[in-house]
Structure 1
């Protein structure tokens, strides 16, 4: 990376640091996000001494999928996972603690109710940097990350890039009987979402953007990873997710999270209709993160690498014609 890029990142972060609104949010996040002690460097040195890959996330009430997601990341040769629990009222925290007893999973307490996602994920990413991370994957509990023909960890360790983008493919249940982990009952849209997520090499002046779609740090992004995204898994889960999302945005001014604010305010009856429309493929534009393009039956829970013939990025689409 050039000296100009380095200076640009420093300048942006310094300007942001001193903004009054940013300072208020940063203080609230620092006071509310209680991080665990850093692990000994020997536990985060990376597989085969090739540099460690860490994943970080913030979760709330994801008991139906969090164990699947964390185990998947460990199978993808991620060296450590930092999970910030935002006051879950289901079994999410118990599940994380159980995994942490036998795997390199670390639990943070997120006591700040507002959805300051960018600032929180930035703080978690800096913890991973201090733990010795050579790469950071900021993920959500409903995301399964993949690389083509190898694990995500192996892909990142051999990548010369500073930022790797991940294409998002939305997955939805075919009916009310589908459960997380089932080998049938799920379909994936064969068209990637317009949005992407990023994994990146940590940097002292990095800042993760809202939604984990971008990171401000020197370096040009490259493509290479894919995500099977499962945002809606049952009526109860969808209603809980939407209402919790709306509540966490109530303290945040502006138009961010309009999707959550809109659907999270619906009555139980209206949400049942949204769920029915979703299963029928007739949810419309009001519901975001639905499968796009032709639908492909998938068993994403058994994939060890990207298991579809859908290209992960444009260059691959050209070379595989």
Structure 2
């Protein structure tokens, strides 16, 4: 089995090395990456992996952020390169298997299914003390603290992964795929997606400054830093209160995995990672039960989003019907006024 990872990156130098090293150690065979005009050293890191023969690099200079189109291009290239399964990830996402490794998670899937989802695990931003992001960001939002605001970066969500296919189309956000005869398996989540979008003030300013139409979409461009990024930082007192109220969960799995790859008890600011395969612990019965409860929240959030879409469609239809009614009435009036007396 060949497993491919696609990555779309722009100014992600603080996380991209850890991301690629982690996924290669978790079972990924090769990476297809697109660099969208990085200026912070991200491209140089990608080129290093390209030189090592495990990554195919695409340069995308466009300033018009077309995520779905670019990820679709990478997913189709992965299929051409012989992939059996494709994970479409952002640079700040780490896919964690609820199995021995990523490949086993997919091998357990019945053959008739071609699309499966992972549960998004949003990790909250912590005060930047200059240490490695994985050392600081060990607290994530509990899925029981359901947030159904579609613009909130910490809302319950799922991400799609799929069998490789030359006709696949990946939708914006990588939440769903279409355009290929692949059956989706609903309600079973063999993967978790650790999401760490806001890692430091410097990272946020580098990535989002200049009105980039990605991330932090929930506030106007000119207010993104002060009105959104800073208030989302969870300090120690807020963290303790959130843990006590079961709104937050302590989760050190990513930190521990990266420590293992770096061969150190604590990650430095620029760790060097090995390619040694990671050993993932199998979930216990209790873990599976707790995970099932949290996964149910994702399903509920999907229902709410679908209901919103239906409501929006109904409003649009009503507008069209009203417009048609007005036009028909006007046409009848015109015909009546033209009748000979």
TM-score (structure 2 length as normaliser): 0.64
8 Å Cα contact 2:75-2:88 kept in structure 1: yes
Q: How far did 1:316 drift?
A: 7.9
8 Å Cα contact 1:145-1:227 kept in structure 2: yes
Decide which of 157, 176, 201 is 2:128's aligned counterpart. Answer: 176
Q: How far did 1:180 drift?
A: 3.6
User: What corresponds to 2:46 in structure 1?
Assistant: 96
User: What corresponds to 2:301 in structure 1?
Assistant: none
User: What corresponds to 2:4 in structure 1?
Assistant: 54
Q: How far did 1:56 drift?
A: 0.6
Map residues 162-173 of structure 1 onto 2, 5 A cutoff: 162-173=114-125
Does 2:15 correspond to 1:65?
Answer: yes
Does 2:171 correspond to 1:209?
Answer: yes
Decide which of 229, 232, 251 is 1:278's aligned counterpart. Answer: 232
8 Å Cα contact 1:184-1:298 kept in structure 2: no
User: What corresponds to 1:220 in structure 2?
Assistant: 184
Decide which of 181, 199, 209 is 1:233's aligned counterpart. Answer: 199
Decide which of 217, 222, 228 is 1:260's aligned counterpart. Answer: 217
8 Å Cα contact 1:225-1:312 kept in structure 2: no
Does 2:247 correspond to 1:294?
Answer: yes
Alpha-carbon distance between aligned partners in 2 of 1:262 and 1:181, rounded to the nearest angstrom = 24
Decide which of 191, 200, 203 is 2:143's aligned counterpart. Answer: 191
Q: How far did 1:313 drift?
A: 4.3
User: What corresponds to 1:85 in structure 2?
Assistant: 35
Distance 1:136 1:93, change over 3 A: same
User: What corresponds to 2:337 in structure 1?
Assistant: none
Deviations 1:32-55 (A, max 9, x none): xxxxxxxxxxxxxxxxxxx20101
TM-score (structure 1 length as normaliser): 0.68
Alpha-carbon distance between aligned partners in 2 of 1:264 and 1:312, rounded to the nearest angstrom = 36
8 Å Cα contact 2:123-2:137 kept in structure 1: no
Q: How far did 1:129 drift?
A: 0.4
Aligned length: 245
Select between 204-213 and 148-157 the one with higher mean Cα deviation.
Answer: 148-157
Alpha-carbon distance between aligned partners in 2 of 1:148 and 1:134, rounded to the nearest angstrom = 19
2:106 aligned counterpart, secondary structure? helix
Does 2:74 correspond to 1:121?
Answer: no
Distance 1:307 1:97, change over 3 A: farther
Does 2:112 correspond to 1:158?
Answer: no
Higher helix residue share: 2
Deviations 1:164-218 (A, max 9, x none): 1010011123322164454455311121743210110022322100000000133
1:125 aligned counterpart, secondary structure? helix
Distance 1:307 1:91, change over 3 A: farther
Q: How far did 1:158 drift?
A: 3.5
2:90 aligned counterpart, secondary structure? coil
RMSD across aligned C-alpha pairs, in angstroms?
A: 2.8
Distance 1:103 1:264, change over 3 A: farther
Moved over 6 A (4+): none
Higher strand residue share: 1
Flag structure 1 segments of 5+ consecutive residues without an equivalent: 1-50, 250-256, 282-291
Distance 1:101 1:275, change over 3 A: same
2:85 aligned counterpart, secondary structure? strand
Alpha-carbon distance between aligned partners in 1 of 2:130 and 2:161, rounded to the nearest angstrom = 30
Deviations 1:250-276 (A, max 9, x none): xxxxxxx6952734322xxx7245443
